[in-house]
A and B are shown apart, each in its own frame.
Chain A
Amino acid sequence: MKNKVLSSLAIAGVLAASASAQAHIAAVAPTVVAGKTIVVELGVGHGCEGSDTYALTVDIPQGMTSVRPMESDFGKTSLTYDAVDTALVKSVTWQKDEADALPKDTNYYKIAFRAKLPAAPFTSIYYKIHQVCRAADATLSYAEWVALPGEMGEPAAAQALVPDHLPGWNKFTVPADIPDLSIYFKDALIVWRGSDAYSFNDATVDLIKGTQGVNLLSADGVKANDEIWVRY
């Protein structure tokens, strides 16, 4: 009986954890090609403890240029600019009209803007997002999605920058240590450093283990200046 209760609690914990993971404000595309101009989409999973999301402000990451926000369910946007480079967008705010605020936290929202990404492959960019919610009685509440990896608090939305690549074989020199290869190579068929190989796909991992002369790439990933072959 005790075991049943414990396992039920464990399952409930896992479900709660996965639900909160899905509920974060997150980038719709977890990986993007460095240096490209793309449409960044951020998904807003929930409001603040039952209150509908009323406004969102996104701090534009350093190195990102050519920002042009798109209108959304929140209506028109407002921008702030860099004090020195007055053409450089520093933040974008989407805010609803009060009449459009919903009585409860029922909706999923997507906000988007066009931008040119930094030309820095094998790094990640983080979008710090400030969320304002509005209850039915007009009370405002706030949530800060600004924590970087290793920091306490609600996590900022992240996107991993991968190098431009084509289907087939691609050769890269790694600019810095990459301890977790899954961040950048989840969609690659296989990654090689010398005779060591990595794949996110478990079936391919089994084939790597079964091939004579091939080792699984070590758990600490690849190091700066390593030369790697990647097949997409």
Chain B
Amino acid sequence: MKRWLFLATTVACLWGCSDDPAQNTSTSSSSGSGGGSSSSSSSSGSGGAGGGEPTALVSCLDEVDGLPRPPSGTLPCEYIPPGLALPQ
């Protein structure tokens, strides 16, 4: 019984470990930052092994609507001095 349990654990571990590099590679290529880079750089970018959700790194330019950009027609908030409240 113990042998089966050990075998099942080993197989599960191997399967999980072999899956990580594939995920890293796809993340790297989708962000466009490391096309053609070695697998070592991919794994270092993911923050190490552990099987967690990979974090997609998206450059600011890929989210053109993510930040307010002038000209918006009104003063941006960083041009309003401390303590001045304007009607919304």
Interface residues of A (CB under 8 A from B): 169, 189-190, 192, 194-195, 197, 203-204, 206-208, 210-214, 229, 231
Complex partner residue of A213 from B72, B76, B82, B87, CB under 8 angstroms? B87
Interface SS of chain B: loop
Let me know if B79 and A195 touch, CB within 8 A: no
* 15 A–B pairs (Cβ distance < 8 Å), ordered by A: A169-B82, A190-B75, A192-B81, A206-B71, A207-B72, A207-B75, A210-B74, A210-B75, A211-B75, A211-B86, A213-B87, A214-B75, A229-B81, A231-B78, A231-B79
Contact residues in A for B72 (Cβ distance below 8 Å): 207
Q: B interface, how many residues as a size bin?
A: 10 to 19
Let me know if B87 and A207 touch, CB within 8 A: no
Q: Is B50 an interface residue (CB 8 A)?
A: no
Contact residues in A for B79 (Cβ distance below 8 Å): 189-190, 204, 207, 231
Q: Is B84 an interface residue (CB 8 A)?
A: yes
Q: Is B52 an interface residue (CB 8 A)?
A: no
Q: In the complex, A195→B84 CA distance in Å?
A: 7
Q: Is B73 an interface residue (CB 8 A)?
A: yes
Known: A192-B81, A207-B75, A231-B79. A212 touches B86 (CB 8 A): yes
Contact residues in A for B71 (Cβ distance below 8 Å): 203, 206-207
Contact residues in B for A204 (Cβ distance below 8 Å): 75, 79
Residues of chain B from 51 to 88 with CB closer than 8 A to chain A in the complex: 70-76, 78-79, 81-82, 84, 86-87
Contact residues in B for A189 (Cβ distance below 8 Å): 79
Contact residues in B for A203 (Cβ distance below 8 Å): 71
Closest to A192 in B: B81
Let me know if B73 and A212 touch, CB within 8 A: no
Q: In the complex, A87→B84 CA distance in Å?
A: 50
Q: How far in angstroms is the closest Cβ of chain A from B38?
A: 41
Q: How far in angstroms is the closest Cβ of chain B from A109?
A: 41
Contact residues in A for B87 (Cβ distance below 8 Å): 212-213
Q: In the complex, A210→B75 CA distance in Å?
A: 8
Q: Top 7 A-B pairs ranked by shortest CB distance?
A: A229-B81, A213-B86, A211-B74, A211-B75, A210-B73, A192-B81, A213-B87
Let me know if B86 and A231 touch, CB within 8 A: no
Closest to B79 in A: A190
Complex partner residue of A229 from B74, B76, B82, CB under 8 angstroms? B82
Contact residues in B for A231 (Cβ distance below 8 Å): 78-79, 81
Q: How far in angstroms is the closest Cβ of chain A from B75?
A: 5
Let me know if A192 and B75 touch, CB within 8 A: no
Contact residues in A for B75 (Cβ distance below 8 Å): 190, 197, 204, 207-208, 210-211, 214
Q: How far in angstroms is the closest Cβ of chain A from B81?
A: 4
Q: In the complex, A213→B74 CA distance in Å?
A: 11
Contact residues in A for B73 (Cβ distance below 8 Å): 207, 210
